[in-house]
């Protein structure tokens, strides 16, 4: 049963410091918008969040692997059928490579259908002597460098909700409506094969899958799992007004769930133990993640477990480490050791993107494919040496053929970055680099 005090607790974050929140001009407008969001239908169901929690519990036990990925920042303009299909297709291809070549069930989570808000290292941006507020994601303001675009507009929260609904609807249709059927493994690759070594390598693997499917069918086996895919949505729980407005009491259990996405994570910049974000996340029953950067101490990790998963519920808490390729082998072991000793079940995921960003001479923010690989390799080494489970990867990628990260099979160099540099925030792996990564991670997983 829910009491008013449970509901009141959902607002306890309001009394705490909330960093990285937009400065809205008109509190009245924020109230009107959140009132509207509070009446809006849920984007996901509590039961689906519980199902994902069970899947993540399997990962924590070492029985499955998570693949989480998508744009650094989704945009409203990018919420189109083509863009969503291309991302999903890439995610499905990566998952199939990991499942087949790594022989492990893969839990698929998109950084999709809600990833519209960004924490920023500086509140303002200066260009040619002009200072304007930083772009904080389409849910807050526009990327264009004009005073009008950069004004925080609460009505954008409504548009974020609607774009999330549209995107999630497409994802549900693509994953349940036949497109994700394993017999489509070749079709996902069609526009890709000839031009790319990763596409060709994938095509060979798809051929093997075909033969395996034909064999199983001949034996009389045609399980339901081959015909559709379980797909989950996720984003950073950054804008607390938005997340609070989309929190509902589940009629089955009387417990609160944030129905804006299945999985929510707390970013590296907002994970303060006594801050508003951790407080809010401690109240909702979704599976949640916390990003851990290289300054995290083992005691920080234990305190986060105590705040966010005091009952040790399996699948509830995921630590997403983002240490940087040069640091992971030194900073991850003490964290993993102390957490293992405490006995709290956590999923360990590796975000090999955010610790490896640098600026190219051209001014483009970029990442080296080899650094990404090296961080993942370090992640596997550390977990293998401690006997813990390397549970998954969290990446920024897109289904399009962009030039934002350097290296990979296509050997993109810094001078190429300007060709198709389209990200609204951090540099993403393109489709070919994503597939390259999946093949290599599958090999690492098998050991
Ligand atoms: C992100 O995931 O885009 C991000 C900002 O990550 P972090 O919080 O790890 O810096
Ligand atoms: Mn990012």
Confidence grade of residue 180 (pLDDT, cut at 50, 70, 90): very high
Over range 277-290, report the average pLDDT. 98
Which tens digits make up the pLDDT trace of 24-56? 999 999 999 999 999 999 999 999 999 999 999
Instruction: Provide the residues around ligand 2 (an ion) whose CB is within 5 A.
Output: 72, 426
Q: Is the pLDDT of residue 5 over 50?
A: no
Mean pLDDT of the 317-340 span: 98
Confidence of residue 1 (pLDDT cuts 50, 70, 90): very low
Q: Is the pLDDT of residue 3 over 50?
A: no
Residue 268 labeled ligand binder:
yes
User: Which ligand 1 atom is the nearest neighbour of the CA of 322?
Assistant: 9
Mean pLDDT of 81-93: 96
Whole-complex ipTM: 0.99
pLDDT tier, 336 (very low <50, low <70, confident <90, very high otherwise): very high
Nearest atom of ligand 1 to the alpha carbon of 267: 8
pLDDT > 90 fraction of the chain, expressed in percent and rounded: 91
Predicted pLDDT of residue 407:
96
Average of per-residue pLDDT across 312-327: 98
Give the Cβ contact number of residue 126 at 10 Å.
9
* pTM greater than the 0.90 cutoff: yes
406 lines ligand 1 (CB under 6 A): no
Q: Is 136 in the pocket of ligand 1 (CB under 6 A)?
A: no
pLDDT level of residue 197 (50, 70, 90 thresholds): confident
What pLDDT shows up at residue 397?
98
- Give dist(CA 21, CA 142) in Å, integer: 16
The b-or-e profile of 363-388 (16+ CB within 10 A means b, else e) is ebbbbbbebbbbbbbbbebbbeeeeb
pLDDT, tens digit (0-9, with 9 covering 90-100), for 393-412 = 999 999 999 999 999 988 99
- Over 50: is that where the pLDDT of 4 sits? no
Secondary structure string (H, E, C) spanning the chain: CCCHHHHHHCCHHHHCCCCCCCCCCCHHHHHHHHHHHHHCCCCCCHHHHHHHHHHHHHHHCCCCEEEEEECCCCCCCCCCHHHHHHHHHHHHHHHHHHHHHHCCCEEEEECCCCCCCCCCCCCEEEECCEEEECCCCCCCCCCCCCHHHHCCCCHHHHHHHHHHHHHHHHHHHHHHCCCCCHHHCCHHHCCCCCCCHHHHHHHHHHHHHHHHHHHHHHCCCCCHHHCCCCEEEEEECCCHHHHHHCEEECCCCCCEEECCCCEEEECHHHCCCCCHHHHHHHHCCCCEEEEECCCCCHHHHHHHHHHHCCCCCCCCEEEEECCCCCCHHHHHHHHHHHHHHHCCCCEEEECCCCCCEEECCCCCEEEEHHHHHHHHHHHHHHHHHHCCCCCEEEEEECCCCCCCCEECCCCECHHHCCCCCCCCCCCCECHHHHHHHHHHHHHHHHC
Band (177; pLDDT cuts 50, 70, 90): confident
Residue 194, pLDDT > 80, answer no
Looking at residue 121, its pLDDT comes to: 94
Residues in the chain: 447
CB 104 within 8 A of CB 55: no
Q: Using DSSP bridges, classify how beta strands 317-321 and 365-367 pair: parallel, antiparallel or unpaired.
A: unpaired
Question: Which ligand gives the minimal distance to the CA of 428?
Answer: 2
Question: Shortest CA distance to 93 belongs to which of 188, 211, 218, 226?
Answer: 188
* Ligand 2 center from residue 361 Cα (angstroms): 20
Q: Is the CB of 119 under 6 A from ligand 1?
A: yes
291 lines ligand 1 (CB under 6 A): yes
């Amino acid at each position: 049963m829910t009491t008013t005090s449970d509901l009141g607790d959902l607002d306890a974050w309001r009394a705490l410091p909330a960093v990285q929140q937009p400065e809205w001009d008109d509190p009245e407008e924020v109230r009107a918008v959140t009132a509207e969001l509070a009446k809006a239908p849920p984007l996901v169901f509590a039961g689906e969040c519980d199902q994902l929690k069970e899947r993540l519990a399997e990962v924590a036990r070492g029985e499955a692997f998570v693949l989480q990925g998508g744009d650094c920042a989704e945009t409203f303009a990018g919420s189109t059928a083509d863009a969503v299909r291309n991302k999903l297709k890439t995610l499905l291809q990566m998952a199939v490579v990991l499942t087949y070549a790594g022989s492990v069930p893969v839990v698929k989570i998109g950084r999709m259908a809600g990833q519209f808000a960004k924490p920023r290292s500086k509140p303002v941006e200066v260009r040619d002597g002009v200072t304007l507020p930083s772009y904080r994601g389409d849910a807050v303001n526009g990327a264009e460098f004009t005073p009008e675009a950069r004004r925080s507009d609460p009505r954008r929260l409504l548009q974020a909700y609607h774009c999330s609904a549209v995107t999630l609807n497409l994802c549900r249709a693509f994953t349940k409506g036949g497109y994700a059927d394993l017999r489509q493994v070749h079709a996902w690759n069609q526009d890709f094969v000839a031009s790319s070594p990763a596409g060709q390598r994938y095509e060979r693997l798809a051929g093997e899958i075909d033969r395996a499917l034909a064999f199983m069918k001949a034996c009389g086996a045609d399980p339901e799992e081959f015909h559709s895919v379980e797909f989950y949505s996720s984003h950073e729980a950054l804008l607390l007004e938005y997340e609070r407005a989309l929190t509902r009491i589940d009629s089955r259990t009387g417990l609160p769930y944030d129905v804006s996405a299945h999985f929510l994570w707390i970013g590296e910049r907002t994970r303060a133990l006594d801050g508003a974000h951790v407080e809010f996340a401690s109240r909702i029953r979704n599976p949640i993640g916390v990003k851990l950067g290289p300054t995290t101490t083992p005691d920080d990790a234990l305190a986060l477990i105590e705040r966010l998963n005091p009952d040790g519920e399996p699948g509830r808490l995921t630590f997403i480490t983002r240490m940087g390729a040069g640091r992971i082998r030194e900073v991850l072991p003490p964290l993993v050791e102390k957490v293992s000793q405490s006995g709290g079940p956590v999923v360990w995921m590796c975000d090999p993107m955010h610790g490896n960003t640098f600026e190219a001479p051209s001014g483009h923010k970029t990442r080296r494919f080899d650094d990404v690989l090296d961080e993942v390799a370090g992640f596997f080494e550390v977990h293998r040496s401690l006997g813990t489970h390397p549970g998954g990867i969290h990446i920024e990628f897109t289904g399009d053929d962009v030039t934002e990260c350097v290296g990979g099979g296509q050997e993109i160099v810094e001078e190429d970055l300007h060709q198709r540099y389209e990200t609204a925030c951090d540099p993403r792996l393109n489709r070919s680099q994503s597939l390259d990564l999946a093949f290599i991670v599958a090999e690492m997983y098998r050991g």
